[in-house]
Structure 1
Amino acid sequence: MIKKSILIIDDDIILLKTAEEILSDLYSVSVAKGGKQGITLLKKGIIPNLILLDIAMPEMDGYMTLEKIKGIPGCEEVPVIFLTGFSESDYEVKGLKAGATDYIVKPFAKEVLLARVEMHLARSAQNSRKTVIDTQIQENRKRIQEKLTPVEWKVALAVAQGMENKEIAEQMNYSYGYIKNVITRIFLKLDIEKRRELRKLLIG
């Protein structure tokens, strides 16, 4: 099984080593000793599944680094967790408004770091799957609409939404028999047999 990848960006060598030791058994870990080095890695196409980012760094702080990260193709949706010694809520709010996914105060417990990382990786994977499914549904809709007449398309959408033949006939002002024949044509054109198959194609 391929390990999920994590990039840690921090100028604190001790923290880098500590976080890497905690995470390396479960994940593929890369480290960057500051914002500039982290941005360089990302621009080379080394896109991780999650980024741990310090706020207080020289030359380029975490907020500026995060802004640049979000502008790199492929990094727009990568979850970023701030690691910082600032415990005040103002810093947390600023980080979240800047686009961070979460905020962990240093020093942190091993269990907290592992739990937060696991949670956000799971959420990210779920969002990615949803995006793929949504894209597939849109492609299905376009392909199916091209195969059907305007009336057949309207009926297909109604069927996919769970409407019965009688409801569709009344709503569209057609006879029950006509709607039944339209649905038969739709099934033949799409090579399906069940209403649930149509629903899966158009709605998911």
Structure 2
Amino acid sequence: MQTTPTSPGPGPSRLSEERRRTILVAVRELLKDVGFEALTMDMVSAKARTSKATLYRRWQHKTLLVAAALEQTERIRIDAVDTGTLPGDLDGVAVRAGEDGGQSARLLSSLAHAVRGDRHLAEALRRHVVEGHLDALRLMLSRAVQRGEVSEDCPAIAYFPQLVLGAMLSQRAVTGADPDTTYLRAYFRCVVLPSLEYRPR
């Protein structure tokens, strides 16, 4: 269900860029701590040290505010990983995910339930967080196919992004621990590469 405003309606915004960033950082931190459902404008107001009226002038309801925070989220940069082999590329993904310290996983986990009932939030999550990862992983796999490491006829090709992103999200759900480099390296080696029938070159 979409949250509706309970404070003054929209008006001109005079937020400085620095103040806007402070508010959006506060939103992302609260999402990881309490999740979307429990997040309130009062919480954001207190954490960002700003008035609710200021928030509502710029973002008329909670979904718009969270969508703006997602837009400013820094993704784990896997698009720059290109080592020349698929195992090397997956190792690079594991390293970057470990350096992230589970922040992205906690953020996505906090929104997993909420996006089912809010198409605006789901679209913001897909557009600003997920799509960049998907494009990078498809390119990574395409290079592996071109090198002959993976057959273009392998059935698991269609599920490669889900296998990789699923590993980055599932560790916390299953074990309560944030994804780390050691875990992801082992998962990629034992699950992803065998699924793709990887052939060293």
**Is the structural similarity TM-score above 0.5?**
no
Bigger relative contact order, structure 1 or 2 (CA pairs below 8 A, ≥6 apart): 2
Higher helix share: 2
| Higher-Rg member (1/2) | 1
TM-score of the pair, normalised by structure 2: 0.25
Higher strand share: 1
TM-score of the pair, normalised by structure 1: 0.25
